[in-house]
Structure 1
């Protein structure tokens, strides 16, 4: 998303995006958008209308069908909720499990969120619903290595960006293309519509809510200030639905932006600093007159709220409280599931806990490229509590008592003798893209290190109904 240096007219002089009529097809929208310059397309293309046209086009599915065979296969593959294993049994015992001198406490909110479970379920249902057709997914379906490996074993092709962009050349007319839980950019959707493929859209409704927020901001000629990571696929998709945007990663970057709004600054420095995180032709001297807040759904809630307060205060100082509504927009798009998992870790690691309730360490399970998991790791790390973020049980070597784990800000390290002798209380949680089986496999290795005679936890002998969301 490199920046250009083209000057822009004032925001008030810009026309609003032209809305499509309800009868306008996706193909007509594409033809209309492609007939304009890049600059004009940004101003006129109506992403919301395009999505509505896709829904009406006949080759688009966006809801699961609750197919019993698909749900049973998810259970068998270990990519759904546990209904018979250790995690299921822990839920029945107050989220606690004890084996000899090891006590494990499971966070009250952990693992698969509704949107992630929905995405995986829809992928399994698509495999059954379209026999004999080539299936693709436009990125990892979710950020979990075990789940994505299952996709590959089911002959679902994952179109990954390996540094040179995604290759959609393998996608042919009549193929089935799954959009992952993080969503896909409007450019990708347009391409797929042109290819006349069957689209299975598993985009989390919370992500779609953010898209609606930036669409509303664009309609009112506000720049979308997106709290997120500019290289994250969810943020890339969100930015593609915005007319003008600026992506800020943290409070330090937000403060830089606020200072520029209030005091001005070096325009060239600003453009260089955010060169990968701004819309084409972005001009900080014009495009920061009106701003709206949006967010990557997996960012820390408190940081997003603080960032929003900073922007609100800045626009109030700049333009006065009477004109605030003309210069600042905000809509609550923070994902409940992300926040619940963060709150559960804060609860487990609270300073005021009684001595007998305190943890000796935390284990965080989730994909190493998972943003929401990184924030779960960040909480105990900042408190100084030993915490080990692993993406699978393969990170733990039972024979040597060695663990390969990641720190919250990206460093991959190895720690030897990480499990001490003697009594131990361990807290465990997992990111929103992590199936229960991943936790069970990790705990199995923990118990085998502490007790070489450990023979595993026998699953319950019960029927396999779909477990309730947790």
Structure 2
């Protein structure tokens, strides 16, 4: 976390432009050099990784790695400004300025675990070529630090997808916190590389759910963003799936299940968000709900109720369990940060403005910004301290739905109360200046 000027409190780090990720279709059609694209049994692939002797999925809690994380400021803060605020009831004051830090903010357990494992991998294999199949998390400073450790992040390009051709037998490949697709796992298993799997256990829990739906011949309805790395990975473990991003798309899906409609219109609407060979006339008879772990809990729950009511109306209460399955796949950490923001903004008059900190390609951070905007509180989402021009009293910030905007005079004169929170991929950077 950084204190800028004498009033601004910001978590984050070095500025790096966000990576634009595109996928013409989801995982089974993703353009990845050398990776086969047919559907495979994801659970079997995951289980087979342990048998290779080249697979790690647990941190070792190496002391040297922890010390380097502390030096780089990519872990939890134990002595910096954030730690001081925690000891003072999450409040900091200077003159007429009061800063309130949300009770739950920043790094979640799964994200810290992923970063720790990447540092430990470099410590364990100091002389090997090392690659990550995507950004480890959505935070520019953390990813830059990994690059400084000579860990190569394989980024997807707009026209060519991912290129793994430089990865050879004996190299080290890290699967990020979002996970890797089943096809990528099989590819690297067969490639003979050392695999370090930092996938968040909550994400893996969602994979288990869609696998269960597949075994019950049910289509997975995934609440998420079809191009997000986590959803791409989750979909690869499903047989048949459709992805809905919000309540509007969920309502369209429910109406089609209940009343039918134009198949051509349906397929055009969800052309990037369904499994290969998807047929809405035959594949929506039995469905199970899953979600991208960073989506709004309330929205996922509402989509579940919509699907449940639709199936109950269509097939009757006594047949509901034959047509609809739901398993708890909502991430506690994501929900805790959302609940903490609702709490700190419960009285809009008590907060003059919000600062939301996190990578601009971070889904969970976007939802924190969304909550603040819906409350009608001036809210500024920044990915680093560099976004704030202290002398000019200007800030370059992002809105919840993607617009990058510069606001002048954003910081009014005191007395002033500022609320601060950060996304689950944002470390407690301990540098600060007045």
2:392 is matched with which residue? 400
2:49 is matched with which residue? 54
Separation of aligned partners in 1, 2:194 and 2:146: 18
Contact 2:59 2:120 in 1 (8 A): yes
Give the one of 359, 362, 369 matched to 1:367: 359
1:188 is matched with which residue? 184
Matched, 1:206 2:202: yes
Give the one of 63, 67, 74 matched to 2:62: 67
Give the one of 382, 404, 425 matched to 2:417: 425
1:237 is matched with which residue? 233
Q: Which has the larger radius of gyration?
A: 1
1:11 is matched with which residue? none
Q: Deviations over 1:43-89 (max 9, x none)?
A: xx321121111012100000000101101110110000111110000
Q: Deviations over 1:120-149 (max 9, x none)?
A: 000000000012100100000000000000
Matched, 1:83 2:75: no
Once the two structures are superposed, the pairs formed by residues 168-187 of structure 1 within 5 Å of their partners are 168-187=164-183
Cα gap change, 1:2/1:362 in structure 2, threshold over 3 Å: closer, same or farther?
closer
Contact 1:3 1:281 in 2 (8 A): no
- Larger helix percent: 1
**Structure 1 SS opposite 2:281:** helix
Contact 1:3 1:282 in 2 (8 A): no
Matched, 1:320 2:312: no
Separation of aligned partners in 1, 2:25 and 2:76: 44
Separation of aligned partners in 2, 1:117 and 1:3: 30
**Structure 1 SS opposite 2:220:** strand
Unaligned runs of 5+ in 2: 1-22, 27-34
Contact 1:293 1:308 in 2 (8 A): yes
TM-aligned CA deviation for residue 3 of structure 1: 7.7
Matched, 1:127 2:122: yes
Contact 1:2 1:280 in 2 (8 A): no
TM-aligned CA deviation for residue 101 of structure 1: 1.2
**Structure 1 SS opposite 2:142:** helix
Structure 1 length as normaliser, TM-score?
Answer: 0.84
Separation of aligned partners in 2, 1:167 and 1:394: 32
Higher relative contact order (Cα pairs below 8 Å, separated by 6+ residues): 2
Contact 2:355 2:418 in 1 (8 A): yes
Separation of aligned partners in 1, 2:324 and 2:376: 38
1:385 is matched with which residue? 377
Contact 1:222 1:291 in 2 (8 A): yes
Displaced runs of 4 or more, over 3 A: 1-4
Q: Deviations over 1:92-144 (max 9, x none)?
A: 00000001111000000000000000000000000000121001000000000
Separation of aligned partners in 2, 1:422 and 1:66: 45
Contact 1:177 1:199 in 2 (8 A): yes
TM-aligned CA deviation for residue 162 of structure 1: 2.0
Separation of aligned partners in 1, 2:41 and 2:275: 16
**Structure 1 SS opposite 2:321:** helix
Structure 2 length as normaliser, TM-score?
Answer: 0.91
Q: What is the count of residue pairs matched by the alignment? A: 403
TM-aligned CA deviation for residue 422 of structure 1: 2.0
**Structure 2 SS opposite 1:284:** coil
